Amino acid sequence: MGQYGLTFWMPTLVKNAGVKDTLMVGVLSAIPYVCAAITMVLIGRSADARRERRWHLVVPALMGAVGFAVVATAGNNVALSIVFLSLAAAGVLTCAPLFWSLPTAFLQGTAAAAGIAAINSVGNLAGFVSPYMIEALKDMTGSTSAGMYALAGVLVLGCIAVLRTPPKLEHAFLDRFAAAAKDGFEGVEFLFPYDFDKADIRARLDDAGLTQALFNAPPGDWTGGERGIASLPGREAEFKRGIATALEYAQVLGNTRLHVMAGLLPAGADRARHHATYVSNVAYAAREAAGAGVTIVLEPINTRDMPGFFLTHQAQAHAVCKEVGAANVKVQFDLYHAQIMEGDLSVKLKQYVDGVGHVQIAGVPDRHEPDEGELHYPHLFALLDALGYNGWVGCEYRPRAGTSEGLGWLKRWRESQR
């Protein structure tokens, strides 16, 4: 809105400052754009050098707001008007390229496409409305000042919205493989690959020299709050289609572990019926996966982070594996979830290690790096080695700051193993 308002009303604002000659109006109107071009280059370089976008967007937007607000009070002071029109132009025009880095930072795949389309639609509508809004305010008040204040207010609201958006992702999905390899990882796991082409992911794995350790089967409507459908009666056909899709990806990506999420148990639901559905679906997944050399893993998840989840304890998960009776069904032992739900991890590992197909870690209780909180991971790592566990250990935690910055614990542990 600020950009369109500036473009349409710049000559009028210069003329209102007391410049009558048409040629001089044109010359003076060019000065803010020259300032904007210089500012765009400088701030763009700063944003790239610091790998930061949010504040590099907010600060120019606030510059634009200040510029518009002062222009509204400049009256016939030509010099003051040009200086602050230059500030407004530098701020507003610098925002545009920086803004477009934000949607793809926290939206991926089809969500990114839909989000960008929606943003374009709103932006085009604002561009259509802003000149007419300023004209209407000018007719109501007899000056352009009210319109400038309105544009300043819109920019401030935009800054608030940007600061309240989710923090940007450190890397776009397909760029994370190279970043993981650079930080010394040999394998990777992620939630879902289905918004991306299998061949593209495989190429990134090969380029980075990484092994795909695990990903999840389709979970139902994830954005709508579903957390798996394996235990949901009436969704069996959808579950089977999801397993087929997941195995197609696994065959290309090369992972031998596929996590099947149980889902949420609705309040008042018949647990026995959901259990029967779960066992039947897991057995089906195991049969389909066996031919592809893939092991199905089941993860108990704590009810603090995921209230209502069907599978919550190690004993429950291992009992399901036993009931299914397939050699390629094992438990995904997440030490974070297990500590919250039941504790006594050393005993649990000794008791169940033969049925464990994948391990995940995080600090407890805040789910940050594993070097903080109530678990002593060096002991648990040594125990896993002593018990003969030779599978992957996935780092499923939320970094306190950045991912790379938080890997000091891993470097220290590796040094201790030399």
Best CA proximity match to 255, nearest among 192, 299, 182: 192
CB contact at 8 A, 195 and 108: yes
CB contact at 8 A, 339 and 311: no
Q: Measured between alpha carbons, how far is 255 from 215 in angstroms, rounded to an integer?
A: 8
> Among residues 186, 374, 396, 415, which one is catalytic?
396
Helix H or strand E segment including 383: helix 377-386
Tell me if residue 415 is catalytic: no
Best CA proximity match to 126, nearest among 161, 94, 150, 91: 150
Q: Measured between alpha carbons, how far is 407 from 415 in angstroms, rounded to an integer?
A: 13
Q: Between the CA atoms of 9, 13, 14 and 17, what dihedral angle is there, to the nearest 10 degrees?
A: 170
Tell me if residue 342 is catalytic: no
CB contact at 8 A, 263 and 232: yes
φ/ψ of 389, rounded to 5, equals: -70, 125
Q: Measured between alpha carbons, how far is 225 from 373 in angstroms, rounded to an integer?
A: 29
Please, what is the angle between helix 109-141 and helix 145-164, to 10°?
Answer: 160
CB contact at 8 A, 300 and 261: no
Other beta carbons within 10 Å of 393: 19
Q: Measured between alpha carbons, how far is 150 from 159 in angstroms, rounded to an integer?
A: 14
> Among residues 299, 342, 372, 415, which one is catalytic?
299
Indicate the DSSP class of residue 168: P
- Cα distances from 416 to residues 265, 405, 408, in angstroms, run 43, 19, 12
Other beta carbons within 10 Å of 326: 17
Indicate the DSSP class of residue 262: B
Question: Position 44: which residue type?
Answer: G
Positive or negative, the CA dihedral 107, 112, 114, 115 is positive
Catalytic residues: 299, 396
